[in-house]
């Protein structure tokens, strides 16, 4: 029953005599050391992981920071590419639509600015800033652009649509 067996391969320490004694050519560097503080462990990561983390942070920064334009034509610091504007058209004169928009903004919040030359209104409603621009596109047809932004510069499309709807309702009750 003593059949000839193939010789066993030597185990890892037998193949590399320096492996069991400190850090030799066959032994990889340990991932963590007990004597290093935890706050310094991120320094020991691989270069690829650090580059990936840096690229991710830069992409997030680029996507979340930027500038947006108001209906007045000004640019402000905030989150771009967010839907925050509603545009509607009415068969009414500019003066009547401007008056209705002014009444709606004064009813819902505090009227902050009024530009009668450019026909724009600015108001604070529920911790959001609302801009309304009224302009004539054709004789007898008026366009109203309503834009709303929250305090953190995010778009507030629900408030913009609510203000736009109230302007339309106000125009139906005006004679």
pLDDT of res. 3: 62
Distance, in Å, from the CA atom of 9 to the CA atom of 139, rounded to the nearest integer, reads: 95
Q: How confident is the model at residue 68 (pLDDT cuts 50, 70, 90)?
A: confident
Q: Is the pLDDT of residue 20 over 90?
A: no
Does the global pTM surpass 0.85? no
Q: Which of the four CATH numbers 3.40.920.10, 3.40.50.970, 3.30.530.20, 3.40.50.360 does domain 67-173 have?
A: 3.30.530.20
Q: What is the DSSP string of 51-92?
A: HHHHHHHHHHHHHH--EEE-TTS-EEES--S---EEEEEESS
Contacts of 42 (CB under 8 A, 6+ apart): none
**pLDDT 10s digits, 108-127:** 999 999 988 888 999 999 88
The pLDDT assigned to 4 comes to: 66
Predicted pLDDT at 123 = 93
Give the domain ranges of the chain: 13-63, 67-173
- Euclidean distance between the first and the last CA atom of the chain, given in angstroms as a whole number: 114
What is the H or E stretch that residue 168 is in?
helix 157-173
Average model confidence (pLDDT) for the chain?
79
- How far, in Å, CA of 101 to CA of 17, rounded? 86
pLDDT over 90 (residue 40): no
- For residue 111, the model assigns a pLDDT of 93
**Confidence class for position 103, pLDDT limits 50, 70, 90:** very high
Query: Contact 85/133 with Cβ under 8 angstroms?
Result: no
Which span out of 23-37, 49-63, 98-112, 145-159 was modeled with the highest average pLDDT?
98-112
Higher per-residue confidence, 107 vs 12: 107
Helix (H, G, I), strand (E, B) or coil at 42: helix
């Amino acid at each position: 029953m003593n059949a000839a067996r193939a010789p066993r391969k030597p185990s890892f320490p037998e193949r590399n005599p320096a492996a069991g004694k400190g850090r030799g050519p066959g032994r990889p560097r340990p991932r963590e050391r007990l004597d290093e503080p935890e706050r310094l462990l991120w320094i020991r990561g691989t270069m690829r992981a650090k580059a990936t983390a840096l690229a991710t942070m830069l992409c997030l920064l680029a996507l979340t920071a930027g500038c947006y334009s108001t209906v007045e034509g000004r640019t402000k610091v905030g989150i771009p590419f967010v839907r925050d504007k509603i545009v509607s058209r009415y068969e009414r004169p500019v003066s009547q639509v401007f008056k209705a928009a002014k009444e709606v903004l004064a009813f819902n919040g505090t009227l902050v600015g009024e530009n009668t030359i450019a026909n724009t209104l600015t108001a604070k409603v529920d911790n959001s800033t609302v801009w309304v621009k009224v302009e004539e596109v054709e004789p007898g047809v008026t366009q109203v652009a309503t834009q709303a932004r929250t305090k953190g510069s995010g778009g507030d499309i629900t408030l913009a649509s609510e203000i736009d709807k109230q302007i339309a309702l106000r125009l139906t009750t005006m004679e």
